[in-house]
Chain A
Amino acid sequence: MTQLNNGITLFFSLLVEAMPFLLLGVIFSSALLLFVDEQKLLGMIPKNVVLAALAGSLIGFMFPVCECGNVPVARRLLTKGAPTAVAIGFLLAAPTVNPIVFWATWIAFREQPEIVFLRVGFTLIIATTIAIIFSTQADLRPFLQESLTRVMGDSAAATEPGEPLVSPLLSSGTFLMQSQGQVLQLSAPAATVMAQVATAPPSLSIRLRMMMDNMVLELRELGAVLVIGSAIAAFVQVAIPREVILGLGQGPVTSILAMMALAWVVSICSTVDSFFALSFASTFTSGALLAFLVFGPMIDLKNISLLLTVFKGRAILYLFVLAAQLTFLLTLVMNLYAG
């Protein structure tokens, strides 16, 4: 009975601590999705692959979304002609490298600031590395779902963003003559075409209603996942004997593997996962906590269904294996040499 009461108290404690951050995340992401122009943003991305990968990883600071919100954004970036390095970097890093997640991690781990900074650092290293690896594949299309490649148009027409504007008529393709000497390139990515022919943006009141709709939608879904995640965390704390957890949590290798597996299964939103990890802070090695905080937001069980809307299975497998190996390696080094 005591155990049950403790479990429920723990459960509500996690919910009460995490909900404000979930709310802020949802509000910011809804506002920014509607008010930030990704096309302009892409124009500012450097052309160098390494810099582009890093820039993609850092865009998260402008879209404070967690892993549930970032897949749709990455998808839209791809349809708008973002280079591979940018899209992959964004996909992997944005859930962690953003102000709200940073703040939440800081509150949870203010006694161990190294966790907060290493979380961001490791994520940037891993995301940039994988983004560079993926960008050696010049054309990402074979990795993407067909529904997405159709929207992207054919590769010849996909222009690099940030390219100096030459008359579009100098390049090959199908064009429609528009008013005022403008031309519309029909073979360009569909999203670009849509952007050019789109009517005036919706009025502010409509946009605010759309924002409200989006907020409620995200809160409903992420809130439900938060509830399930908190319940699992509370259950593990009170139901599994402490000796078992300690035995698993103190080994430099087993602790990391256990936390990565947990991160993959629990699929808790990155805005609030630091509080989940906090409940293991006294029993697990710091490297294991970091593995949880770095790997979880990149790829987890829930996220795979989302990733499948963008990538084919093979590409997700590559992403998963690369992210898992790099996380394991970095956190193991930390456990062995810094712990």
Chain B
Amino acid sequence: MTSLPRTNGSRRPRRSLPWQALIDATMLLLWGLMFLRFTITGKLYLLLHPDYMWLAHLATVLLLTMGIVRGAQVWLSYRQGRGPAPRSQEHIALLPRQLSVGLLIAIAVFGLIYTPRPFASETAFQRGITDVLGQTRSRPQRFSLSGNSEDRTIVDWVRTLNVYPEPDAYAGQKAQVSGFVTHIPGWPDNYFMISRFVLTCCAADAYPVGLPVELPAGTPRPAPDTWLEIGATVQTATLDGKRQITLGSATLTEIPEPRTPYEY
């Protein structure tokens, strides 16, 4: 505890400022501000499933409120010259106090500066991109598909394929999807994967799905991570020794990265 000498002739004898409590209040406020920044800049969409955003908003309110109340308490007890409240219980420190506060403040400041970025093609490839859903993946009992095949997103396509995998059943259907480009090693030069990440809870469980696209003759292969809107007709092709659906006669339109780059 550091004592702060009062230079002006105040009514009270000089008293030390409750630095620890002030630092705690600052820490809470910084965390609240970090959450607020993610919300305002829309970066929360890169981190969380939209269903759980209200929890993050709740946390923002709680953190800011606790920070303000803590600050007010410090101010009041300083003005009135009261000591801290009696300790409610014995408590065993896990980490030295300075270390935990320092760590939390550092992370909050970092979170206020750093801009999270969505996962991209390299990660998609590393995590094993596929048009098949693994054992632990979300398989909704019911997902609504409008009759129009052009309304299906990539994950809709993949879920549909999972229920009924025969590629020929889809031949000739129109598809209209958007996603980013991933190059799969071993595929012919005129093929790439149009992909998206899917979230069930938060970015920690993001997994990639994708559909192979056949480039029209003469079109250069787009660079990985380019965001494209693709209008195409479904056909079948054999890639990696497996017969699967591909998007043929594709028209590629470059689009900016969407505000919500994941599908759910």
Contact assessment for B201 and A108 in the assembled complex, using a CB-CB cutoff below 8 Å: yes
B136: chain A residues at CB < 8 Å are 111-112, 281-282, 286
Stretch at the interface among B2-10, B113-121, B249-257: B113-121
Contact assessment for B104 and A282 in the assembled complex, using a CB-CB cutoff below 8 Å: no
Give B85's nearest chain A residue, CB to CB: A209
A281: chain B residues at CB < 8 Å are 136, 205
- The 8 Å CB contact of A9, one of B66, B138, B139, B203, is B203
Contact assessment for B88 and A212 in the assembled complex, using a CB-CB cutoff below 8 Å: no
- Taking the complex as formed, is B129 at the interface, i.e. its CB lies under 8 A from any CB of chain A? no
Inter-chain CB contacts under 8 Å: number: 175
**In the bound complex, what is the Cα–Cα distance between A115 and B59 (angstroms)?**
26
Contact assessment for A210 and B70 in the assembled complex, using a CB-CB cutoff below 8 Å: no
- Taking the complex as formed, is B100 at the interface, i.e. its CB lies under 8 A from any CB of chain A? yes
**In the bound complex, what is the Cα–Cα distance between A161 and B91 (angstroms)?**
26
Q: How far is the CB of A72 from chain B (nearest CB, A)?
A: 6
Binary contact readout B233-244 vs A (1 if CB under 8 angstroms, 0 otherwise): 000000000000
- The 8 Å CB contact of B24, one of A17, A76, A220, A282, is A220
Contact assessment for B56 and A20 in the assembled complex, using a CB-CB cutoff below 8 Å: yes
**In the bound complex, what is the Cα–Cα distance between A214 and B56 (angstroms)?**
22
Contact assessment for A72 and B89 in the assembled complex, using a CB-CB cutoff below 8 Å: yes
Contact assessment for A212 and B100 in the assembled complex, using a CB-CB cutoff below 8 Å: no
- Taking the complex as formed, is B12 at the interface, i.e. its CB lies under 8 A from any CB of chain A? no
**In the bound complex, what is the Cα–Cα distance between A112 and B120 (angstroms)?**
27
Contact assessment for A221 and B47 in the assembled complex, using a CB-CB cutoff below 8 Å: no
Contact assessment for B104 and A216 in the assembled complex, using a CB-CB cutoff below 8 Å: no
Contact assessment for B204 and A224 in the assembled complex, using a CB-CB cutoff below 8 Å: no
Q: How far is the CB of B183 from chain A (nearest CB, A)?
A: 14
- The 8 Å CB contact of B205, one of A21, A217, A278, is A278
- Taking the complex as formed, is A190 at the interface, i.e. its CB lies under 8 A from any CB of chain B? no
- Taking the complex as formed, is B38 at the interface, i.e. its CB lies under 8 A from any CB of chain A? yes
Contact assessment for B204 and A309 in the assembled complex, using a CB-CB cutoff below 8 Å: no
Give A211's nearest chain B residue, CB to CB: B88
**In the bound complex, what is the Cα–Cα distance between A209 and B90 (angstroms)?**
16
The majority secondary structure among interface residues of chain A is helix
Stretch at the interface among A45-53, A80-88, A225-233: A225-233
**In the bound complex, what is the Cα–Cα distance between A309 and B31 (angstroms)?**
32
A305: chain B residues at CB < 8 Å are 92, 94
- Taking the complex as formed, is A279 at the interface, i.e. its CB lies under 8 A from any CB of chain B? yes
Known: A16-B47, A107-B52. A202 touches B86 (CB 8 A): yes
A14: chain B residues at CB < 8 Å are 202, 204
- Taking the complex as formed, is A311 at the interface, i.e. its CB lies under 8 A from any CB of chain B? no
**In the bound complex, what is the Cα–Cα distance between A7 and B200 (angstroms)?**
18
Interface size class of B (residues with CB under 8 A): 35 or more
**In the bound complex, what is the Cα–Cα distance between A227 and B111 (angstroms)?**
12
Contact assessment for A223 and B100 in the assembled complex, using a CB-CB cutoff below 8 Å: yes
Q: How far is the CB of A11 from chain B (nearest CB, A)?
A: 9
Binary contact readout A6-34 vs B (1 if CB under 8 angstroms, 0 otherwise): 10111011111101110100010000011
Contact assessment for B204 and A17 in the assembled complex, using a CB-CB cutoff below 8 Å: yes
Contact assessment for A12 and B116 in the assembled complex, using a CB-CB cutoff below 8 Å: yes
Q: How far is the CB of A95 from chain B (nearest CB, A)?
A: 14
Interface size class of A (residues with CB under 8 A): 35 or more
A237: chain B residues at CB < 8 Å are 204
Interface residues of B in 89-134 (CB under 8 A from A): 89-95, 97, 99-101, 103-104, 107, 111, 114, 116-120, 122-123, 126-128, 134
**In the bound complex, what is the Cα–Cα distance between A217 and B55 (angstroms)?**
22
Give A289's nearest chain B residue, CB to CB: B136
- Taking the complex as formed, is B14 at the interface, i.e. its CB lies under 8 A from any CB of chain A? no
B56: chain A residues at CB < 8 Å are 16-17, 19-20
- Residue from A72, A107, A220 with most neighbouring chain B CB atoms (10 Å): A220
- The 8 Å CB contact of A227, one of B87, B104, B116, is B104
Contact assessment for B66 and A215 in the assembled complex, using a CB-CB cutoff below 8 Å: yes
Known: A225-B95, A242-B128, A281-B136. A17 touches B104 (CB 8 A): no
Binary contact readout A174-214 vs B (1 if CB under 8 angstroms, 0 otherwise): 00000000000000000000000000001000100111111
- Taking the complex as formed, is A63 at the interface, i.e. its CB lies under 8 A from any CB of chain B? no
Contact assessment for B85 and A228 in the assembled complex, using a CB-CB cutoff below 8 Å: no
- Residue from B59, B66, B127, B128 with most neighbouring chain A CB atoms (10 Å): B59
Q: How far is the CB of B101 from chain A (nearest CB, A)?
A: 6
B204: chain A residues at CB < 8 Å are 10, 13-14, 17, 233, 237, 275-276, 278-279
Give B57's nearest chain A residue, CB to CB: A20
Contact assessment for A279 and B205 in the assembled complex, using a CB-CB cutoff below 8 Å: yes
Interface residues of B in 16-32 (CB under 8 A from A): 21, 24, 27-28, 31
Give B93's nearest chain A residue, CB to CB: A221
Give A9's nearest chain B residue, CB to CB: B116
B86: chain A residues at CB < 8 Å are 202, 206, 210
Interface pairs (19), CB distance under 8 Å? A6-B123, A10-B203, A13-B203, A16-B59, A20-B55, A20-B58, A23-B58, A68-B94, A71-B92, A75-B90, A111-B137, A112-B136, A206-B86, A216-B70, A219-B28, A221-B93, A279-B205, A281-B136, A282-B127
Given contacts A10-B203, A242-B128, 10 further A-B contacts (CB under 8 A): A12-B111, A13-B46, A16-B59, A20-B55, A72-B92, A75-B90, A224-B94, A237-B204, A275-B202, A275-B204
Q: Which 7 A-B pairs have the closest CB atoms?
A: A224-B100, A13-B203, A209-B85, A279-B204, A20-B59, A210-B88, A20-B55
